[in-house]
Structure formats: C-alpha cells, structure tokens
Structure 1
Amino acid sequence: MVNSTSSRSHQLQKVEINVDCGEAFGLWEGGPDEELMPLIDAANIACGGHAGDPVIMRRTVALAKRYGIKIGAHPGFPDKTGFGRRLIAMSPEQAYAEMLFQVGALKVFLDEAGVPLNHIKPHGMWYIMMQDDEELNDAAMRAISHFKVPVYGLPNTLHESGAKKYGIPFIPEAFVDVNYDSKGKLLGVPGSRKMTTDDISQATTSLGKKGLVPAVDLSLVDVGVKGKPFTICLHSDFKTCRENVAAARKAVDEVNEELYNHL
C-alpha cells in the first residue's frame, strides 16, 4: 500500500494538460505528436493495444524525453481495428494480464531511455467501462498497483475508489473535447457532440474556476474537480487537435495564473 505521505507527493500543484500520443502503428500515421509536445504537460503513450507498436512506442518515448514531457502509459483494449473504442468483454484474469503486459512493454522503453513512468491512464472504452464495472476496475487497478505510480481517472467513480483500495495515488482528470451526460458520467468519443475551439476554451475555464463543464445537452455538471488542481485530457486523433490543444493551453495558463501560480 502507498502511504499518505507518498500519495500527497504525487498531487498536482496546478492544472495540467495531458494528451494521448504514439497512436500510430506500422505505416499508419497517428496524431501530430511533435507539434503538440510544446503545448502539453504529460503524454499518454499507447502501449500496443488500441494503437502503437514497438518502434512507435520507442520513438514516442524519445520525443517526449526531448521535450521534457512527463510520460504515462496508455493501455487500451487489444483492438486496433476499433481503436479501443468498441465494447470488448474481458475476464478479470484477462484484464489483469493485459494491463501488466501493455504497461510493462512501455516500461522497458522508458528504462532504456532513462526516464520514469509518471502515471497510467487506461484508454477509450476500457477507461469508460472502469467507471462502473467493478470486476474490470478491480482487475485493472490490481495490476496498476504493481507499477507504484499514480493513475489518472474520473473523480467520484470506481476510478477513484478502486485506486484507493490498492493504495494507488489518484490524479483527478476531466475532459473538454468530449462530453459528459447530464448526470456527469463521461460519454467518451461515441455519443459526444463535436466541440469547437471556443467550446473547449470555455469548458476549460469553467472547469478550472468553477469545477463545472457543459454536458452533451449543454446543462452544467459538476465532475468533481472543483477547488483543486487536476489534469485535462485532449485527444490527438481529432482533425482539429492542434487548435483544440492550443485553445486549452491558453485557458489553462490563465486559470493557473489566477489561482495557482502564487503557490
């Protein structure tokens, strides 16, 4: 178990931005990772499940190291055809082994590069299902606990309580380029409306200052980040990802200047 002192040492001191990276494989191109690196605080690198392969993983680790970006593992359902966004049934044993396998694969490249694993953040439908699937969440968190790093997740869901059960430092996360439903449950890419850069800027500012974000029906919902630093996720596979991340960066910097830069 991780003691409370260790958990406090992992807490964020300001609002940060994380982006999913390394989501290519073979000859198939992913997002514009190098263009995004100067705008982000942490990169979630695909581990060969929903995207990524050994060469891409190694290259992306080197890229993030060059820009001084914190590196997290981004394991997803082993489903490149569906980009990890389709519902897949996995037994607890499979989920446990798959998490160890994918994060362990990325960890080898991090060890080679001499940089630490900063966090773990499940991808896509795996992340969505872990909100309320107790068996899947428990198996994944049990595997994550072996790596002794924080997990990024949704506050007030099984993400947070599952992390607590296994003594895993928990970093609260929120989304601005996809939507929540009117009850504050993350919908993910399927089911979300298209977000403009203005939408993303306004959602980021609202989250940072009030802890509220417009849901898919435009009602304001509390997603559990009010009054504390958290990390905002954006997706690099969207066509407007450069503009999206730039808009979020500007808003995050303004929030941090107002609320956290005096700390």
Structure 2
Amino acid sequence: MVTIDINCDMGESFGNWTMGRDAEVMPYITSANIAGGYHAGDPHVLRETVDLANEHDVALGIHPGFPDKIGFGRRQIDVTPQEVADYVTYQLGALIGFAKATDLDVQHVKPHGAMYSLLSQSPEHARAVMEAVLDVDPSLIYLATDMHIYEVTEEYDELTAVFEGYVDLRYNPDRSLIVEKQLTPKPTDEVTDRFVQIATEGTVEAANGDTIDVPAESICIHGDGPNAVELLEAIHDAADEHGINIAAPSA
C-alpha cells in the first residue's frame, strides 16, 4: 500500500489577528508545520497549536521564517549562512520547549517563504541550515520543498529528507511552483486527481500539459485556502478509494 503524509502550515495567528483555519484543518492532516514566532505566531499560539496537534495525533514540525511579521516572512533579507542557521535553531528550540512540556517529540523542519527561497537559490545557506538541524537533533526530518534543496540534502548521509509536493498549486515544466498572490478556491476534482497522481505515480501534469516527476512522500495543503477543509475531505475520500494510506513520515 502506498503511504503519503499530508502537511499544513499552522500556528500563524498572532495576538488578535487570525490566520488560517487550524482547528478545522488539523483533523485531516498528519504533520503540522508550526510557525516559530518570527514570520508569524507568538508564544501563546505556539503552545495552543502544539496542544491542538497533540489532540489529533499530528506530528510536529517547525516552520521557521525570517524575522518579518509585517511582510509575513515573504520579503528577502540579506543574511549570512550562519545567521539563517541561527534563525532556524532559535525557532526550533522554541517548538522543542513546548513539545517537551507536553511530552512530545518534534519530527521535522520546513523553512517558510523567503527563507525557503534563499535556501533553494544558495546551497551554502542550505548547508548551514541542514548542519544546524543535525547539531540540534540528527533524527529530525528535513522537509524539502523543491529539488534544488533536496539535492543538497543528499550530501548528508545522516540527514533524513522527505520531498514535498503540492496539490493546491500548479507546477511549471521545470518543477517550480506557480505561486498565487492570493489563494483562490480550487476545484476538488483537480486537486484530488493531482493528489492521486503524485501518491501513486510520483508525477504531476504541469501547467503546459507536460508530465513531470514529483517524487513526493509528503503533500502540502494551504490551510488558509478558501476551501481547504473541503479539499482535505475530498483527498481523504480519494485516498480511501485508491488504497492510499495517509500517515506522517518516519526517520
């Protein structure tokens, strides 16, 4: 039986500002990428999100970003490899603290927004982050959002990496994502077909009609999408129909 993880970015609310539909989405996912307080989130939201994940037996991961709440971590910042590694270590430590208080382990690391883009473009920065993750806990899984980053993870025998695919975004022929400025409702048939194709064949149809390789062991759903819950319900139905097991990855 094919097994695939469903991950979602979580804990991105801050103070009185609400982002996403965490309570509604959490029952349908197997891994939560939780904001570490830099691009989004705060200590109280972090604790509440850990508790919510625990309630639904969802694996914990840190979603570290640049210190840029006004820009939601999507603006590029000029940082050295050591500085970006420090950002990741700091935010990872925050999640580990709340996880330990609840007697839970942290499973994975998935950089956010402009930080992810920097790591994709600069192998030097990517290596610094991966080495920092290994220094904190070699059992942590690195969730690689594109092949540039995934290829760098392969330089480290001791690092477990999981390649991630997307089903609520379309792909360019070069396997880069077509990122929307604002998320729009997605047709459930289109999303479930993409999910089944990635899970069972490791491929997806690009925007130009080409079939491209997307060897994903985890798929991401945007929890702040207008019809995220409906998409997740349809994905679970499709998984049952096609004999696909949904579970968090293991190191």
TM-score using structure 2 length: 0.87
2:122 pairs with 1:133? yes
Decide whether aligned partners of structure 1 residues 190 and 253 sit closer, same or farther in structure 2, where only a CA change above 3 A counts. farther
Identity of aligned residues (%): 33
1:212 to 186, 189, 203: 203
- Cα displacement (A) at 1:155: 6.1
**Structure 1 stretch 246-255 or stretch 55-64: which is displaced more?**
246-255
Is the Cα–Cα contact under 8 Å of residues 239 and 245 in structure 2 kept in the other structure?
no
More displaced stretch, 183-192 vs 134-143: 183-192
Residue 141 (structure 2) pairs with residue 150 (structure 1): yes
Q: Given that residues 3 and 244 in structure 2 are in contact (C-alpha distance below 8 angstroms), is that contact kept between their aligned partners in structure 1?
A: no
Partner of 1:9: none
CA distance in 2, matches of 1:71, 1:259: 16
Task: Report what 2:81 is aligned to.
Answer: 92
Q: 1:179 to 1:144 in 2, by over 3 A?
A: farther
**Residue number in structure 2 paired with 1:243:** 230
**Within the alignment, does 1:25 sit opposite 2:37 as a pair?**
no
Structure 2 vs 1, CA of residues 213 and 25 (structure 1 numbering), >3 Å: closer, same or farther? Answer: same
Aligned pairs for 1:166-205 within 5 A: 167-190=158-181, 195-205=186-196
Consecutive unaligned residues of structure 2, counting only runs of 5 or more, are none
Deviations 1:107-132 (A, max 9, x none): 11001111000111111222233223
Give yes or no for contact 2:63–2:112 (8 Å, CA) kept in 1.
yes
Alignment-mate amino acid for residue 188 of structure 2: T
Change (3 A) 1:188 1:133: farther
Shift of 1:13: 6.9
Question: CA shift at 1:192, angstroms?
Answer: 8.8
Change (3 A) 1:233 1:143: same
Q: TM-score, normalised by structure 1?
A: 0.83
For 1:52 and 1:220, the matched residues in 2 are separated by 37
Q: How far apart, in 1, do the equivalents of 2:157 and 2:121 lie?
A: 17
- Distance in 2, matches of 1:258 and 1:108, equals 31
Cα drift, residue 218 of structure 1 = 4.2
Report how far residue 34 of structure 1 moved. 1.4
Q: What SS is found at the alignment partner of 1:15? A: strand
Shift of 1:88: 2.5
The match for 2:220 is 233
Please, which moves more after superposition, 24-33 or 165-174? 165-174
8 Å CA contact 1:47–1:103 kept in 2: the answer is yes
Q: Distance in 1 between matches of 2:40 and 2:193?
A: 30
Q: How much does 1:57 deviate?
A: 0.1
> Cα 1:66–1:16, aligned 2, differ >3 Å: closer, same or farther?
same
Report how far residue 32 of structure 1 moved.
1.4
Please give the alpha-carbon distance, in whole angstroms, between the structure 1 residues aligned to 2:71 and 2:187. 25
How far does the alpha carbon of each residue in 1:148-201 deviate from its partner, in whole angstroms, 9 at most, with x for none? Answer: 211111464233433542621111211111232211123444599874322211
Match of 1:159 among 150, 154, 158: 150
Secondary structure class of the residue paired with 1:118 = strand
2:150·2:163 contact (CA, 8 Å) conserved in 1?
Answer: no
Q: Give me the whole-angstrom Cα distance separating, in 2, the residues matched to 1:208 and 1:46.
A: 27
Contact 2:183 2:226 in 1 (8 A): no
Residue number in structure 2 paired with 1:83: 72
> Would you identify which runs of 4 or more consecutive aligned residues in structure 1 move more than 6 Å?
191-194
Q: How many Å separate the matches in 2 of 1:32 and 1:192?
A: 14
1:50 is aligned to 2:39: yes
Per the TM alignment, residue 103 of structure 1 is displaced from its structure 2 partner at its CA by 0.8
Is there any run of 5+ residues in structure 1 with no aligned partner, and where?
Answer: 1-11
Partner SS for 1:60 = helix
Match of 2:214 in 1: 223
> Would the aligned equivalents of 1:19 and 1:42 in 2 still touch at CA under 8 Å?
yes
